[in-house]
Structure formats: structure tokens, C-alpha cells
Amino acid sequence: MWNPPYDWPYVVSHMRPELREAYTTRCENWHKNHPPRPEASPSIKIPQMLDARLFEETSRKYGAIIPIPELFKIGYTKEQVQKVLARRKWYREHDADLTKDIDKRWPGGKIKPKKIVKAVNKKTPAGIENI
């Protein structure tokens, strides 16, 4: 299926004069038959309600598990806090299974530490210097 190049007017300006008119009509007809697609409607943007600076400070202070009252101060809604609580509950209930799976995949905790070999300076025997 033929379609004109993006810069077809530039291509036409460098063509031989006897071919210009036919090529121009072909390109213009193609553009009439294939109108540009309408632009996509802008996606709905959810307003950011969380205070990013406050979230950063509390995550530094408490780590990964931020207390519930602090989440409300940051700007979490009631539904978001319910999701956080549900995730935390799920992880508490499945902690043993997850730990077994991790140990099965990466058994790194059972490796014995290697013995460190220290370097020893040996003295050269007498009478062998500068051979």
C-alpha cells in the first residue's frame, strides 16, 4: 500500500518537471482520502493529594511501615489506608511461605565464611643476596 513520504513537498521540489504534477496530485489525493486521525482525548488526571515532602520525611523517620495516623497526616484517604492495612495483613499472614520461597531460591544464609589467609614475609637466607 503506497503512501506519500512525510516531506513530499521537498521531494517534489527536486523532481524532474514532467513528473512533478502527477506526483503532487497523487500525494494530495492520498491526503484527501486519508485524513489525519483525531487526537486522543487527554486522560483523566487524578489530583495529587499527598504531600511529597512530608511523605519523604516520615518514610525516613519510620522506614517502610509508616504508622496509620501519619498516613492520614500525609494525605492518604480512608480507602487508601484500608488498602495499606489489607496489604500489611496479607504480608503478615504469608510471611512464613514467602520466607521459605526466598530461602529455596537463594540459599545464601547457609554458606560458611571463608578462612582468611594472612600474608607471611619470609627472610632471604644468608649469602644469596645479589646473585
The predicted-structure confidence for 80-124, as pLDDT tens digits, reads as follows 999 999 999 999 999 999 999 988 888 776 667 778 888 776 766
Give CA–CA dist 122/127, Å, rounded: 15
Q: Is the pTM of this model over 0.75?
A: no
In the chain, the percentage of residues whose pLDDT exceeds 90 is 58
| 4 touches 26 (CB < 8 A) | yes
Q: How confident is the model at residue 51 (pLDDT cuts 50, 70, 90)?
A: confident
User: 108 by DSSP, 3-state: which?
Assistant: helix
Which are the contacts of 70, defined by CB distance < 8 A and separation ≥ 6?
A: 58, 62
Up-side HSE of residue 54: CA atoms within 13 Å toward CB? 11
Cell 512533478 found at: 20
Q: Domain spans of the chain? A: 1-34, 52-105
